[in-house]
Amino acid sequence: MRWLSRLFEFVGKVGLFSLRVLIASVKPPFEFAQFCRQLAEVGNRSLALLIVSGFALGAVMTLHTRSTLVTFGATAMIPAVQAVSFFVEIGPLVAGLLLAGRVGSGIGAVLANMRASEQIDAIESLSVDSFKFLVVPRVLACTIALPFLTLFMDFAGLLGGFLSEELSSHIAPALYLNRAFDYLQWSNFIAPTLKTAVFGFIIGSVSAYFGYTTDKGAQGVGEAATNSVVVSSLLIIVADVLLIKCIFFLFPDTAI
Amino acid sequence: MSANQSVAVEFKRVTKSFGAKRVLGDVSFQIDQGQALCLLGRSGTGKSVTLKLIMALMRPDSGEVWVDQDNVVGMGEHQLSLVRRKLGYLFQDAALFDSLTLYENLSLPLSRLTKKSKDEIDDVIRRVLTDVGLGADGAKYPSALSGGMKKRAGLARALVLEPKILLADEPSSGLDRITAAEIDELLMRRKLEHGTALIIVTHDVHGARRVADRIAVLDKGNLVAFGTVEQVSQSENDVARRLITE
């Protein structure tokens, strides 16, 4: 039972921390320069990773899908399967998990290091609100960057799938695209892409929570980095289940 | 309000514990404007905590902490922000912001807390950096600075808002004696030329003897001696006497 009470305590603390982020993000003064800096950093750190991963995943998925669909004589459906699965689920989820690993760990480690080396105290001593200066821009940057990064991942996956299919069946690019988007509606595309903003918020606030609140000195830096990745990845998967139910409720025609 | 307007910092029966460990127990002292107080004591006796209580980075369990006529205990963030502008804090490892250049470290408080133009900010930073001997290093990142340079840079950042009270946490730790004496010299100049009150946590007894108007000795969370160097060296408390004379 003790672990259960610790779990509730943790959920409560992260919840309050996230609420504080939401309130601080709409109250002036706004740290616009810091936000731009963090946005550039999040994009810089993860764009190449997401594109390469998306491309490879797209190619591999097409190979697997082909081997199954050949059995049913339905290889013409490969582009559609590829596009729907990537835009609806694989792109958003994998982009979220990759960002949690790449950026979440960085946020946790940087903030924990700043706490251990008294940089956060130094910011406070200069009459600067360290929470608004360090935490809010990072969370907002993750929230806003992830939907855009997901788009890059989606299209990289589509490109990877096309090249893989082209090598197997010499399909023309126009035909591939035509078939790919034949079954894709706007609601299949917009809602799943926007849900990654929630994933971004989870990554930012969970990672910032571990880094900002650590009190274990140098040891806390490693712990914060690890916990940021593990907990935000877990929460992303749990949130995905809930968000999919919400999307199905709001856009019933997307429940393919 | 504190009755005496010349008081820079006053502790009134302050206690602070971390869990079961009592770090400060019923500590009271005061230091006037323009004076230098050195806090001595063995490691873990609450010296750095004392500085953090003054800066209101921590809250005491009980008691009052007066900073220039304001009791910082229980103050809201906005009021604290106003009080902190009167204080400068040199952290033990300087605590410079890794991701910012030295210039940016210094311009951060100036651009946020003053209405100075870009040119005026440049002038202030150039002057302060020159004062601490880092006039040519403004574009460097903290990782490119030596230990002594970091201390100087931390001091420059603490001084950039021209504080009435300067808190310094082991300003000479990890430095050779010449560099440590140079840092002490900078602190003394600040006190003499600007009337800044200094509260310095140190293990360097030679430095303390050079700089301090008052010495406070903390042991096991208690203030066991307070007074001039001569008074503390004749203290009845064995720890205080040994710390200042050995």
Structure confidence by residue, pLDDT tens digits, A102-114:
999 999 999 999 9
> Is residue A38 situated within a structural domain?
yes
Examine residue A75 and state whether it is found in any structural domain, yes or no.
Answer: yes
* Whether A125 and B57 lie within 8 Å, measured CB to CB: yes
The SS3 assignment for A188 reads: helix
Nearest chain B alpha carbon to A125: B84
Backbone φ and ψ of A74, nearest 5°: -120, 35
Q: Residue B11 pLDDT > 90, yes or no?
A: yes
Please name which of B53, B154, B15 lies closest in space to residue B94, comparing C-alpha atoms.
B154
Find which of A107, A119, A125 to mutate to test the B interface (most B CBs within 10 Å of its CB).
A125
- Looking at residues A176-199, what average pLDDT do you find? 88
pLDDT at position A217: 83
pLDDT in tens, A100-153: 999 999 999 999 999 999 999 999 999 889 999 999 999 999 999 999 999 999
Contact assessment for residue B202 and residue B172, using Cβ atoms and an 8 Å cutoff: yes
Does residue A6 lie in a domain region? no
Which pLDDT does position B33 carry in this prediction? 93
Interchain CB distance below 8 Å, B81 and A127: yes
Give the pLDDT score at B4. Answer: 58
What are chain B's domains?
Answer: 7-97+164-245 (3.40.50.300)
With contact defined as beta carbons under 8 Å apart, do A78 and A66 qualify? yes
| A9 found inside a domain | no
Asked whether residue B1 carries a pLDDT value surpassing 50, the answer given is no
Tell me what the pLDDT averaged over chain A comes to.
Answer: 92
What does the DSSP 8-state code read for residue A252? G
Q: What is the span of the domain harbouring residue A98?
A: 15-20+31-254
Query: Does the residue A8 lie in any domain?
Result: no
Query: Chain B contacts of A217, Cβ < 8 Å?
Result: none
Q: Are B173 and B123 in contact (CB under 8 A)?
A: no
Share above pLDDT 90 across residues of chain B, in percent, rounded to a whole number: 61
pLDDT-derived band at B5, boundaries 50, 70, 90: low
Question: In angstroms, rounded to a whole number, what is the distance separating the alpha carbons of residues A149 and A199?
Answer: 12
Q: How far apart are CA B93 and CA A1, in angstroms?
A: 42
Task: For residue B98, list chain A residues with Cβ-Cβ distance below 8 A.
Answer: 113-114, 119
Q: What are phi and psi of A22, to 5 degrees?
A: -60, -45
Q: Determine, for residues B81 and A122 on separate chains, whether the beta-carbon distance falls below 8 Å.
A: no
Q: Do B91 and A124 touch (CB under 8 A)?
A: no
What backbone torsions phi and psi does residue B58 show, to the nearest 5 degrees? -135, 160
pTM: 0.87
Model pLDDT, residue A255: 63
Structure-block tokens of residue A153: 């991942």
Closest CA to A88 of A246, A200, A256: A256
- Is any Cβ of chain B less than 8 angstroms from the Cβ of A44? no
What is residue B66's predicted lDDT score, i.e. its pLDDT?
95
DSSP string over A54-93: HHHHHHHHHHHHHHHHGGGT-GGGHHHHHHHHIIIIIHHH
Asked if the peptide bond before residue A29 counts as cis, ω within 30 degrees of 0, the response is yes
User: Quick one: average pLDDT of B101-120?
Assistant: 92
Pick from A114, A124, A129: CB nearest B57: A124
Q: Which residue of A has its CA nearest to B166?
A: A125
Q: Which residue of B has its CA nearest to A118?
A: B95
Confidence band for B77, pLDDT divided at 50, 70 and 90: confident
Top pLDDT among A159 and B175 is at A159
Closest CA to B51 of B95, B98, B21, B107: B95
Classify residue A192: in a domain, yes or no: yes
Residue B188 near residue B27 (C-beta atoms within 8 A): no
When divided into structural domains, chain A yields a total of 1
Task: State the nearest Cα–Cα gap between A211 and chain B, in angstroms.
Answer: 16
Q: Which ranges constitute the DSSP H helices of chain B?
A: 47-54, 77-84, 102-113, 118-131, 147-159, 177-194, 205-211, 229-233, 238-245
Binary contact (B93, A118; C-beta < 8 A): yes
Q: Cβ separation of B91 and A126 shorter than 8 Å?
A: no
Asked whether the predicted pLDDT for residue B3 surpasses 60, the reply is no
Q: Is A126 on the interface with B (CB under 8 A)?
A: yes
Residue A118 contacts B, CB cutoff 8 Å: yes
Phi-psi bin for A166: left (phi > 0), alpha (psi -120 to 50), beta? Answer: alpha
